Structures are given as C-alpha cells and as structure tokens.
Structure 1
Amino acid sequence: MKVLYLILFIGFAFFIVTFSLENAAPVHLRYYNFVDVIVPIYMLLFISLLVGIIITGFLGIIERFRLNRAISRLNKTIRDLRKELRANEPPPIIEEPKTPTQY
C-alpha cells in the first residue's frame, strides 16, 4: 500500500511540475484600485483551488456540528420518550409461589 501511495504522490508531483511549466505566462490581475498584481497562470489556478478546498472544509465542519447537534437533540427525545413509556407501564405482577398440596 505504501508503494501505491508513493506512486500516486510522484505522479501528482509530476503533474504539478509539468502544469506549472506549461502555464507560466504572466497574468495581470486588477481589481479597481485595490489590487494590481502580475502572477503566473498556474499560481492563480493553484490559489483558486486552495481557496476552494479551504471553503469546502469549513462548510463540512459546520455541517458536521449541525448534524451532531441534531443527533443530540434526537437522542434526548428518545430518552424522554423511553422514560415516559416506563412511567406509563403497569407494574409487573408478582405471583406467589404455589406450594404442592398434600393428600
């Protein structure tokens, strides 16, 4: 399995290097008068990818917290309903042991 991970890592690294070399042309980014920079195309794409990964990660964390809160609420409802069921059950009937009759 380690060999497979190594092969995948080397392939991914090779892709990144070749992609960077093929897309090294500079791009002028301008946003009104606030931002005025020149960056290579590959850097722009990698930064966009990284920002997307970070945003998706944060949204996943938020969703997990929301689902955990819902699970806790539902578990509390289940506990309360089980308590209510036990409170409404009739008490168990205890029968007296029968003694054998003598003739």
Structure 2
Amino acid sequence: MPGFLLHLGATVLCAHGGQATPSAPFARVMLSGQPVTTLAAPYVIAGCSMPPPNAGNGPCVSGQWLVGATRVFAGGQPVLLQSSTSVCAPTGTPMTVTVIQTRVSGV
C-alpha cells in the first residue's frame, strides 16, 4: 500500500500513548533533514500507560514493523511507510503514526 515515508522526526505512538522511537535510523538517506527509518530496526517505547501484569499485560517496551515498502529501499532494507503494519511487545497491539512528513511517498 502506498504511503508517506517515515523518518526520525515522525511521531509514532503505541496503542496506549507511549512514544515510540527508532533504535537505528538510516542516516545516509535524509527526509526533511532527518534520517529515514527501515524495517530492520526495532522501535523503543517509553511512557506506555498499559498497567503491568496482574492488572494488564503491559507496558509496551518495544515495537517491530512487520511490513515495509516494496519498491523503496535504504541500505538494502525496505523503508517504513505510514501504512506499514507493526506490533508492540509484550502487548501485541499496533503502533500508530500520528505526525509525518508529507513530501515523499512510496509503495
């Protein structure tokens, strides 16, 4: 599915409002002055409001993207799109892209 490409400055949240940050953006390709993110690197999540075991199965601590672009690559890895699917650990909920650059899109 087509969508705008993710970069380091994109706002990505877990389903419970935690801030997700890429652990290793690809700095050789820049979008709006920020490195792109690829499918290879997991995201680190901070500030998840899901309660720990006995009251819930959280909080979310990491997120992994499952599907990236099919035609756009950086360093041999698919770049991430706004429409990419993801999953957080240990809750199994998705991450959501809320703010993104709108100049570069891909498939």
The answer to whether TM tops 0.5 is no
The one of the two structures with greater contact order (alpha-carbon pairs below 8 A, sep at least 6) is 2
Give me the TM-score of the superposition, normalised by structure 1: 0.19
Structure with greater proportional strand content: 2
From the CA coordinates, give the structure whose radius of gyration is larger. Answer: 1
